[in-house]
Amino acid sequence: MTAAAGTARAVWRRPPLIRNPRLRWAIYGGSLVYLVLAFASVDVNWTRVYEGLDRGLRFVEGFLVPDFVSRWGDIAQGMQESLTMTVTATVVGIMVSVPIGIGAARNIAPLPIYLACRGIIALSRSFQEIIIAILFVAMFGFGPFAGFLTLSFATIGFLAKLLAEDIEDIDEAQAEAIRSTGAGWWQVVNYGIQPQVMPRLIGLSLYRLDINFRESSVIGIVGAGGIGATLNTAMDRYEYDSAAAILILIIVIVMLAEYGSSIIRQRVQ
């Protein structure tokens, strides 16, 4: 302190986020070069955009005055497919995910089962729903059945992975205590693990229900049934007011689902 008083520094600079100056400048420079290259490769056709503004305006108008009536038959059919697909796929997805999730938890599953279950999860997570839908439509034909399979399969990758991580994160002492009473493997799962992961499993399932509905609105584009097909048709026919009506319905349903699931989540805590 005494020595510092004599040579007090009046300049202070905040230490940089990345300490190594070479690495810092390499990252800054690299990012800059990338951005320049990326922007250069995006060519915007301004005349096309200008022409499109008109349609954009019509679409905004459609949003303000949505037309639920003229295509109501198609919309109702599409919504019915989307909703039924969502419910069945979520139920089946949960039923399949739970055993796979348990099998993919390293702390309770033997190694071969663990590897197999992790493999299934990785497979399901690697591809977009839409790609899986393309394959399932090619195999099972057009319609909501292919969509149901797609959503069920995608649910596994999501739910089983998060369930497995939850089981790996449990308070090990509670499971150990149950094990020390001489309980069997199933009893340890039922008494020592299930109570710890149940609230989150319910929350995740509700969240997945929500995701499945949103996804059910796109896989129709490739022929897997649901409101997406209706929407696609409306867009192709330039019926923006009907398209806006569909989008508003989707948003409202998602909002309702989120509201409902937040209530259920609070109750199971």
Partner 1 sequence: MLRLQNLTKTYRTGDRALNGVSLTVEPGQVVGLIGPSGAGKSTLIRCINRLVEPSSGQVTLGDTALTGLGHGSLRRARRRIGMIFQEYALVERLTVMENVLSGRLGYVGFWRSFFRKFPPDAVSKAYALLDRVGLSDHVDKRADALSGGQRQRVGIARALAQDPDLLLVDEPTASLDPKTSRQIMRLIVEICDERGLPAIINIHDVALAQSFVRRIIGLKSGEVVFDGAPNELTDAVLTRIYGEEDWSATIRPVDEESDDQVDDPDAEAEHHGPAEVLDRERMAGLS
Partner 2 sequence: MVDASRTFPESWRKRTTRTELLIWAGWLALVALFVFCWQVMTQDTIWMFVADAPSQAADIGSRMVPPRWAYLPDLMAPLWDTINIATLGTLLAVIMAVPVAFLAARNTTPSVRFVRPVAMLVIVASRSINALIWALLLVAIIGPGVPAGIVAIALRSIGFVAKLLYEAIEEIDAQQVEAVTATGASTAQVIDYAIVPQILPAFAGICVFRWDINIRESAVLGLVGAGGLGLKLQDSLNILAWPQVTVIFVLILLTVLVSEWVSARVRHAII
The one of partner 2, partner 1, none whose footprint includes residue 91, by CB under 5 to 8 A per kind, is partner 2
Nearest to 213 by CA among 97, 61, 85, 113: 85
Q: Which of 30, 56, 184, 195 binds partner 2 (CB under 8 A)?
A: 56
Q: Catalogue the E-assigned strands of 17-155.
A: none
| Shortest distance, position 5 Cβ to partner 1, whole Å | 40
Give the residue carrying structure tokens 């806006």. Answer: 244
Contact (CB, 8 A) for 212 and 155:
yes
Nearest to 223 by CA among 154, 140, 167: 140
State the residues that interact with partner 1 by CB under 8 A. Answer: 171, 173-174, 176-184, 186-187, 190-192, 195-196, 198-199
Number of C-beta neighbours around residue 117 at 10 A:
22
Contact (CB, 8 A) for 246 and 231:
yes
Site string for partner 2, 207-236 (x = CB under 8 A): -------xx-xx--xx-----x--xx--x-
| Shortest distance, position 18 Cβ to partner 1, whole Å | 35
Site string for partner 2, 134-173 (x = CB under 8 A): xx--xxxx-xxx--x-------------------------
The one of partner 2, partner 1, none whose footprint includes residue 232, by CB under 5 to 8 A per kind, is partner 2
At 110 the three-state DSSP class reads coil
